[in-house]
Amino acid sequence: MKSGEHAVVGAVVGSVAAVLLVGTASLPLLAGYVAYAVLLSVVVDLDHFLLSRAVVGDWRHLELAVTNPRVGLIEQEKVFEGYADVLEPRRLLSHHVVGGVLAFGLAAAGLGTVAVFSAVVLYAHVLCDYLRDLGYA
């Protein structure tokens, strides 16, 4: 999915999860959780560039996204063009690793609610990626 689509999913899932996990006691707190959900939903895709660096051996995909904002922001399907067969099987695995490490780290730091919230948001992100890959979304 594109970043804008993930941002929308993050906002919706983040809103519901925030209300369920922290209630409606503080509007600024809820807004903070939703903003975090949107940011997390989009930023987690940056792991693709690390994965690309590890698999391909250089930063060409990151360079393309940074030097050509149209590709980086609008035509995101072109960023990894020609390497999808190599990166695709590993792409969702990297999200699972990031999500697991993040949730465990937050829980270990005593931020249990934020850990659960992060896990829910990233679960929705990965689920949407799976649905897109399968042609359902």
User: Could you report the per-residue pLDDT of 60-78, keeping only the tens digit for each?
Assistant: 999 999 999 899 888 988 9
Q: How confident is the model over 26-62, as pLDDT tens digits?
A: 999 999 999 999 999 999 999 999 999 999 999 999 9
pLDDT-based confidence at 88, cuts 50/70/90?
confident
Contacts of 25 (CB under 8 A, 6+ apart): none
Half-sphere exposure of 74 toward its Cβ, with a 13 Å CA cutoff? Answer: 3
**Is the Cβ–Cβ distance between 17 and 10 less than 8 Å?**
no
**pTM score of the predicted model:** 0.92
pLDDT (0 to 100) of residue 112: 97
pLDDT (0 to 100) of residue 24: 81
